[in-house]
Amino acid sequence: MTQATCVAVVQHNANTDVASNLDKLADLSRRARADGAQVICWPEAFAYLGRHEGKREILEPLPDGGPILDRCRSLAAELGCELLLGGFHEVMPSDPERCYNTSVYLDQKGEVRATYRKIHLFDVDIENGPSLRESRQTAPGNQVVTTDTLFGTLGLTVCYDLRFPALYQNLVDQGAIAVAVPSAFTATTGALHWHALLRARAIEAQCYVIAPAQHGWHSKHRASYGHSMIVDPWGQIVAEIEDGDGYALAEINPAEVERVRREIPSLDNRQLIFPPKKKRYHQSDSDLFKAWEEMVDCEREAYAKSCLDTV
């Protein structure tokens, strides 16, 4: 049975010292649990944030794990709470030089309940800002993942996924009443887009958005924006850590999601939108467009029939 649940987002500044990073997270999590948190959420790259050469040394398989996962599982069991490991460095079985950026959800006994491999990888060149190629050493996932929690169904995403709203609509269609967005959002893009994107996803999907984040300088070339937060289904920020290490608490209430979706039934009011028919073709692409038009016509007919069948 789902219930209103106290959720904590944890914010810290990871570096290349895995033991120190995990010590800090354990301390913050114990304090959050003492303040009533039943679900605790950590940021992306929580155990290590640095060059890939160092990351290769700490990659672990899932779900079996290694020293890092073992310590996280022990902490979840010790605290008796559910724990989201925002971005776990998972070894790629077919290529041990590469990895997945994987979100791992642990239950109150420390067992792995769900894993989600980040789908959208951060390959950008920002003028007067960072130039990053996540896909150089990281492989993308290809599965949309939800998991059961104390408060209901949670959709799993990671950082750059935030810019792709179709993913969040898909998670809602699978029953999500909240989505997690653990991140290490860059300081440059975060200042411009972080708040707007999180609130937009909450409003569009009419769900809670849980966004634990990294903050501060990790090296002379990399800084994260911070501002870990929880946004409610109206798009209101109900908890936020502006800067520094810490945690923030908010209640995730399934009844609030139900109320918002009832009062503004935008999810139920969605319409299937097709591109317009293309009547003129170039000789070189006529066969392609004719096939495309036939496919769209079939989809229109199927959709119209489904609407009539429900009347």
pLDDT digit string (tens) for 58-76? 999 999 999 999 999 999 9
pLDDT digit string (tens) for 26-53? 999 999 999 999 999 999 999 999 988 8
80's torsion region: left (phi>0), alpha (psi -120 to 50) or beta? left
Looking up tokens 């890939």 gives 52
Per-residue pLDDT averaged across 6-31, rounded? 98
Provide the residue type at 50 as one letter.
G
pLDDT digit string (tens) for 251-291? 999 999 999 999 999 999 998 887 776 555 454 555 555 55
165-173 and 195-205 are packed helices; what angle lies between their axes, rounded to 10 degrees?
30
Element at 215 (helix H, strand E): strand 215-219
pLDDT class for 311, splitting at 50, 70, 90?
Answer: very low
Cα→Cα distances 37→32, 34, 251, 283, Å: 6, 7, 9, 64
Write phi, then psi, for 192 (nearest 5 degrees): -95, -35
Which pLDDT value is given to residue 168? Answer: 97
Secondary structure class of 308 (helix, strand, coil): helix
What does the mean pLDDT of the chain come to?
Answer: 90
- What is the residue extent of each domain of the chain? 5-263, 271-311
Query: Could you please report the per-residue DSSP string of 166-196?
Result: HHHHHHHHTT-SEEE--B--BHHHIIIIIHH
Provide the residue type at 174 as one letter.
Q
Write phi, then psi, for 165 (nearest 5 degrees): -60, -25
Per-residue pLDDT averaged across 147-174, rounded? 97
pLDDT digit string (tens) for 177-220? 999 999 999 998 999 999 999 999 999 999 999 999 999 999 88
Task: State the catalytic residues.
Answer: 44, 118, 159
**288 burial level (CB within 10 Å; 0-12, 13-18, 19+):** exposed
Residue 128: pLDDT over 90: no
Is the N-terminal amide bond of 96 cis, ω within 30° of 0? no
Residue 25: pLDDT over 80: yes
**146 burial level (CB within 10 Å; 0-12, 13-18, 19+):** buried
Topology of the domain comprising 5-263: Nitrilase/N-carbamoyl-D-aminoacid amidohydrolase (3.60.110)
- Residue 221: CB partners within 8 Å, gap ≥ 6? 130
Rank 117-126, 274-283, 289-298 by mean pLDDT and report only the highest.
117-126
Which pLDDT value is given to residue 286? Answer: 54
pLDDT class for 310, splitting at 50, 70, 90?
Answer: very low
Looking up tokens 């966004």 gives 211
Residue 307: pLDDT over 50: no
Share of the chain above pLDDT 90, in %: 75
- Cα dihedral value 70, 71, 72, 76, nearest 10: 100
pLDDT class for 308, splitting at 50, 70, 90?
Answer: very low
